[in-house]
């Protein structure tokens, strides 16, 4: 169904990989090769996985998305062997995880879950340091690393390191969960609905901050969600799973939105997939027209998504809006037609042969 070459080519992942933070050991590639998990009929087919094959290049975020019971979480847990596959192999940098010592394997893989699972009896600082402590780092190195990570996820170490998890908000707990998963500088992170338990506003902020962090860290990440919008936002690659744990489609978000491989995928990503594609692009990507009279026209900073720009243009009922350049100077005029044709251009270029 899908080829197993690097489907990203010269994509975001490669760009991210070039700007690593010092002290980061980088990322590993991840491959699913014919992976299946069958459960006895007594437990039903929920969570089963059927002949899953795909490759995530080092430094990319791959999102597993699909309806409940499609085997997303099962697939994720087979990577760190919380669940053992019935057949097939999972390879990290070409090495079959089934051949490794399971404890050592898990300590090299970051793990973030929806309910966070912070240890209530340990302070925030000691929660973050659990894996370094398990692998025998010195106390001083643990403390230094903890402070670094807490700052990285936006928590002041002086204020937070000695608190207990019960004293944190939901969003703060998730940040600590992410810091804990990053503690021993894993080559690979597994994130199982990591932002699903917080309210939408906090979720959006956590997503944005995590993407910013990932631009520096360039970890390979396998990310599970049931939320298509989150998949599109977070993923360099998306694996859409159908019921029964089949891979329905695998590719970059724009390709899945532009060319759903089946009715199932089209229905799953939604009628508004055209609008969702617009949210993947910003006005900075647009070809603009010369500005004539700009009196009363809305202005768009470069990071405005085409979806937001379109929405604003429709609401304002104007012929166009002014796209601003990096220094806030007007760069040109954007119209509803230009936004619509931006998708058409891309669709032509990305069409399958």
Question: What residues line the site for another protein (CB under 8 A)?
Answer: 80, 82, 103-107, 111, 113-123, 130-131, 134, 163-164, 166-167, 180-181, 190
User: Which H or E element spans position 143?
Assistant: helix 139-152
Residue 64 C-beta: closest distance to another protein, Å? 16
36-43, long-range: CB < 8 A, 24+ apart: 36/85, 36/86, 36/87, 36/88, 36/245, 37/71, 37/74, 37/75, 37/78, 37/83, 37/85, 37/86, 37/245, 38/86
Residue 177 C-beta: closest distance to another protein, Å? 8
Q: Are strands 220-225 and 61-65 parallel, antiparallel or unpaired?
A: parallel
Closest among 296, 240, 250 to 270, alpha carbons compared: 240
Task: Give the residue with the Cβ less far from another protein, 162 or 208.
Answer: 162
Task: Give the residue with the Cβ less far from another protein, 13 or 155.
Answer: 155
Residue 25 C-beta: closest distance to another protein, Å? 17
Task: Give the residue with the Cβ less far from another protein, 13 or 168.
Answer: 168
Task: Give the residue with the Cβ less far from another protein, 19 or 169.
Answer: 169
Dihedral of alpha carbons 174, 102, 148, 140, sign: positive
Residue 106 C-beta: closest distance to another protein, Å? 3
Task: Give the residue with the Cβ less far from another protein, 68 or 119.
Answer: 119
Structure tokens at 340: 């619509």
Question: What is the DSSP code string of 229-243?
Answer: HHHHHH-SEEEEEET
Residue 194 C-beta: closest distance to another protein, Å? 12
Task: Give the residue with the Cβ less far from another protein, 116 or 242.
Answer: 116
Residue 127 C-beta: closest distance to another protein, Å? 9
Write the CA distances from 326 to 287, 300, 346, integer angstroms: 15, 11, 24
Residue 80 C-beta: closest distance to another protein, Å? 6
Residue 134 C-beta: closest distance to another protein, Å? 6
Task: Give the residue with the Cβ less far from another protein, 12 or 106.
Answer: 106
Q: Are strands 188-192 and 109-113 parallel, antiparallel or unpaired?
A: parallel
Task: Give the residue with the Cβ less far from another protein, 224 or 265.
Answer: 224
Residue 201 CB partners (closer than 8 Å, separation 6+): none
Phi, psi of 210 (to 5 degrees): -65, -40
Calpha distance 117→49 (Å, rounded): 25
């Amino acid at each position: 169904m899908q080829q197993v070459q690097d489907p990203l080519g010269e994509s975001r992942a490669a760009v991210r990989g070039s700007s690593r933070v010092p002290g980061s050991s980088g990322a590993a590639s991840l491959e699913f090769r014919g992976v299946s998990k069958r459960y006895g009929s007594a437990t039903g087919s929920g969570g089963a996985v059927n002949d899953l094959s795909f490759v995530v290049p080092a430094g990319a975020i791959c999102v597993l998305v699909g309806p409940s019971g499609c085997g997303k979480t099962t697939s994720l847990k087979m990577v760190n062997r919380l669940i053992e596959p019935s057949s097939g192999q999972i390879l990290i940098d070409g090495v079959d995880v089934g051949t490794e010592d399971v404890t050592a394997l898990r300590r090299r893989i970051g793990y973030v879950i929806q309910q966070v699972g912070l240890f209530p009896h340990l302070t925030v600082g000691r929660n973050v340091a659990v894996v370094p402590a398990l692998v025998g780092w010195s106390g001083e190195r643990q403390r230094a690393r903890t402070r670094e990570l807490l700052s990285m996820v936006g928590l002041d170490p002086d204020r937070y390191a000695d608190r207990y998890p019960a004293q944190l908000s939901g969003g703060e707990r998730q940040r600590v969960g992410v810091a804990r998963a990053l503690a021993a500088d894993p080559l690979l992170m597994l994130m199982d609905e990591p932002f699903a338990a917080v309210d939408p506003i906090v979720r959006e902020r956590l997503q944005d901050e995590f993407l910013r962090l990932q631009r520096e860290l360039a970890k390979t990440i396998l990310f599970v969600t049931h939320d298509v919008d989150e998949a599109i936002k977070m993923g360099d690659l998306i694996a859409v799973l159908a019921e029964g744990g089949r891979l329905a489609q695998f590719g970059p978000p724009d390709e899945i939105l532009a060319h759903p491989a089946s009715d199932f995928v089209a229905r799953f990503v939604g009628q508004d997939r055209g609008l969702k594609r617009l949210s993947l692009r910003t006005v900075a990507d647009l070809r603009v027209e010369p500005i004539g009279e700009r009196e009363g026209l809305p202005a768009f900073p470069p990071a405005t998504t085409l979806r937001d720009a379109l929405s604003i243009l429709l609401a304002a009922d104007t012929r166009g809006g002014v796209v601003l350049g990096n220094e806030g100077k007007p760069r040109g005029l954007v119209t509803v037609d230009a936004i619509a044709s931006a998708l058409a251009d891309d669709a032509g270029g990305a069409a399958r042969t």
